[in-house]
Amino acid sequence: MRLRKLGLAMAMVLAPAAQADEGMWMPSQLPAIGKSLRAAGFQGNPSDLADLTKAPLSAVVKVGGATGSFVSDDGLVLTNHHVAFGVIQYNSNAQRDLIQNGFVSHARAEELPANPDFRLRVTTGFDKVSDKVLAAAKGKTGRAYFDAVDAISKTLVAECEREPGMRCSVVNMFYGRDFYLVKQLELRDVRLVYAPPRAIGNYGDEVDNFVWPRHAGDFTLLRAYVGPDGKPADYAKDNVPYHPPAHLQVAQEGVREGDFVMLAGYPGITYRHRTAAEFADQVQWRLPTTVQVMQQLQHIIEDTGRDDRQAAIRYASQLQSLKNGIKRFEGELDGLKRSDAVAVRHKDEDAMLAWLATQPQAATLRPQIDEVNQLVASANATRERDLLLSLMQSQTQLMRSAIMLQRLAHERGNPDAHREAGYQVRDEDLMAGTLRQVQRRYDPPIEKRLLTALLTRYQKLPDAQRLPEFDAAFGRTPEALSQKLDQVYGATQLGDETQRLAWLKADPAAVSKSSDALLSLAAQLQPALLRAENERKSREGDLLRLRPAYMDALIAYREKQGRAVYPDANSTLRVSYGKVTPLKARDAVSYEPLTTTAGIVEKNTGAAPFDAPKPLLDAIAKGDYEGYADAKTGTMPVDFLSNLDTTGGNSGSPVLNAKGELVGLNFDSNWEAVSASWMFDPRYKRAIHVDLRYMRWLMDKVYPAPQLLKEMGVPAH
């Protein structure tokens, strides 16, 4: 009943101008916001976009954690160069360097098989299973609610995957309000068809990452194959091209500033409908604290590495990853502050609650919303400890190995199907790999210093946050901690790879009773870690049960405001619409929304990452842009900028014009938009796309592949 009422409500509301360009819409929502979509410039029928398992949206496929789309009836798939990079790398060697030189297949027989674990997924089913899931969890709370949802989901997935070639999953929308069973045809024979050289596909590399103006031709063409019977199959010479249920048509025309564009893809995760308290936690505590602790770890690695080159090399990757994380978190924090996100969200929530108080449903919803806030507050009560425990496991090598071995021993007591994810039989190869690579990433003095930093912070926590097992193990003073770590790391044999791998195979009882200093320490800590995990899952179960009330209130409040609500991103197919838009990035700095080939020459230094290949530079010097350049200005476009709503996972998303034709290929967003995972600020949120005129020109004039252009219905000039 509640669901039906809100479904109806949604059909009635329109997105006003202020919200026009925000939104990662479920295709099923598009008919309801059809009037906005048409007002923005869409010329098709919004109802035609409602079913993601039917044309045209069925042409949009999942490629790893990103997106692609079919662009011919013979299974040709367009995605980003960086999304297909593994395929290009897999087919490259010193003799034939496809990364450096690119690849043009001139005939089907020349197309190169992808790495065997590369997958394309075509969504064939998207069914609401809220009734089944909620019925299974009904009356439960906490951990039991969590486990019930988990169990029924596993059952539904198992049933669904009985059909050969299918991969299924249960996803939840609006934080547990709605559940869907997603069914995807998994194509396993994918081949490389066309890739530009690295210096085109990734022109600018890290220097230009997150940067506009951009000049990369970040695209690659693949082809999906199936067995002669039309069913998914592993690579085989006799496989035949897959005929997709739908494909997109590449446009003959290009875009200009202000043009309507829309995009479909698989955005990964956003937090926009989190509560005001969660926004405050993120900005005021989580981001600054995480940055502070990570910087402390960074400095430990850097300081030690300055005098010890061997250690510096071993920790190079961890250091890089810390620095990337710090940069990204700082960017998110800057952005959220620039957008005054905490105050804006708080004001919005206050207004929602004030309005709710005047409504009949307040009696049901308000107590649940209050419970959500209590749960968030209870999580905050141990947030320092939880952050430290998490870093203790992600930023160490030997300690993490010991904890993993003890947890595995613990899980082995359960039937495989009931074990914690990551500790099932099928995960053992991965665990062995993790234990092996410790050898190249571990330096005892650095690990001890990292642990000292984290555990010193831990020792200073108030009593309520500390765990008796940790206090017993590490003591309460710096001296006790130092002595313990020296003793454990001095005595443990886990530094030896053979030893570590032997413990992976060992009897669970032997592991848990091991006399190795570090394994024994991990065994001592394990009850505390399991208790903390159980608390978290119990809270997550309750949040899954209660957040729908918050979402119900928000959706009803937005309805009153005349606005529709999209669910936060969760790696399911979404559609966003907007327009080709410039960016006023800073005081007196404006970026135009289209770049041109002149900018490639401007940036070119001849050295990577600005080392455009000679054939490209020659073609630009020649200026043969007939049929591709902007008719008015004569300039040849490269990339363009829009205000489309995207996040990680939208890489490779097709960008369509008002007629639904393919005009662009999404590949990045701007630095100012890093905070958009929490808040969409229309002043700064932009998405960066390859202009398909650039792709077509490259395939026509620079690295010709006329047969592919013909296959896509846009023949060479």
C-alpha Rg value of the chain to the nearest Å: 27
Residue of 23, 593, 652, 660 that binds its own copies (CB under 8 A): 593
Residue 485 or 616: the one with the smaller Cβ distance to its own copies is 616
Q: How far is the CB of 307 from its own copies (least distance, A)?
A: 14
Question: Could you tell me the smallest distance in angstroms from the CB atom of residue 601 to its own copies?
Answer: 9
**Nearest to its own copies of 470, 671 (CB atom):** 671
Residue (550 or 591) nearer to its own copies, CB: 591
CB burial of residue 486 (10 Å; 0-12, 13-18, 19+): exposed
Q: Using CB under 8 A, count the residues that bind its own copies.
A: 17
Whole-angstrom Cα distance, residue 59 to residue 27? 13
Nearer CB in complex with its own copies: 224/583: 583
Quote the least distance from Cβ 195 to its own copies, whole Å. 24
Q: Is 651 a catalytic residue?
A: yes
Cβ-based burial of 408 (10 A; exposed 0-12, middle 13-18, buried ≥19):
buried
- Residue 68, beta-bridge partner list: 61
- Per CB under 8 A, contacts with its own copies among 189-248 are 212-213, 215
Q: Which is nearer to its own copies, 232 or 305 (CB)?
A: 305
Angle between helices 383-394 and 362-381 (to 10 degrees): 60
DSSP summary character for residue 15: -
What's the N-to-C CA distance of the chain in angstroms?
Answer: 58
CA-to-CA dists, residue 75 to 166, 221, 426, 513, angstroms: 18, 10, 32, 56
Is 82 known to be catalytic?
Answer: yes
Regarding 309 and contact with its own copies (CB under 8 A), the answer is no
Which of the stretches 68-76, 156-164, 287-295, 597-605 binds its own copies when contact is defined by CB under 8 A? 597-605
> Please, what is the minimum distance in Å from the beta carbon of residue 335 to its own copies?
12
Neighbours of 324 (CB within 10 A): 11
3-state secondary structure 449-514: HHHHHHHHHHHCCCHHHCCHHHHHHHCCCHHHHHHHHHHHHHHCCCCCHHHHHHHHHCCHHHHHCC
Stretch near its own copies under the rule CB under 8 A, chosen from 88-96, 439-447, 598-606, 662-670: 598-606
Among 80, 576, 595, 642, binds its own copies (CB under 8 A): 595
Residues in 601-630 at the binding interface with its own copies, rule: CB under 8 A:
602
Catalytic option among 82, 247, 273, 689? 82
Nearer to its own copies, 18 or 598 (CB): 598
* Helix, strand, coil percent values for the chain (each to nearest 5): 50, 15, 35
Structure tokens at 285: 């505590």
User: Mask 553-592, x = binds its own copies (CB under 8 A)?
Assistant: ---------------------------------xxxxxxx
Nearer to its own copies, 127 or 602 (CB): 602
| Residues 697-716 within binding reach of its own copies (CB under 8 A) | none
Dihedral sign (CA 61, 66, 71, 77):
negative
Q: With contact defined as beta carbons under 8 Å apart, do 122 and 245 qualify? A: yes
**Catalytic site includes residue 218:** yes
Candidates 158, 381, 598, 621; binder of its own copies (CB under 8 A) is 598
The catalytic residue among 69, 520, 642, 651 is: 651
Q: How far is the CB of 602 from its own copies (least distance, A)?
A: 6
Residue 588 CB, nearest approach to its own copies (Å): 4
**Minimum distance, C-beta of residue 339 to its own copies, in the bound complex (Å):** 13
* Residue 138, SS3 per DSSP: coil
Q: Is 104 helix (H, G, I), strand (E, B) or coil?
A: strand
- List residues binding its own copies (CB under 8 A): 212-213, 215, 586-596, 598-599, 602
Which residues carry out catalysis? Answer: 82, 218, 651
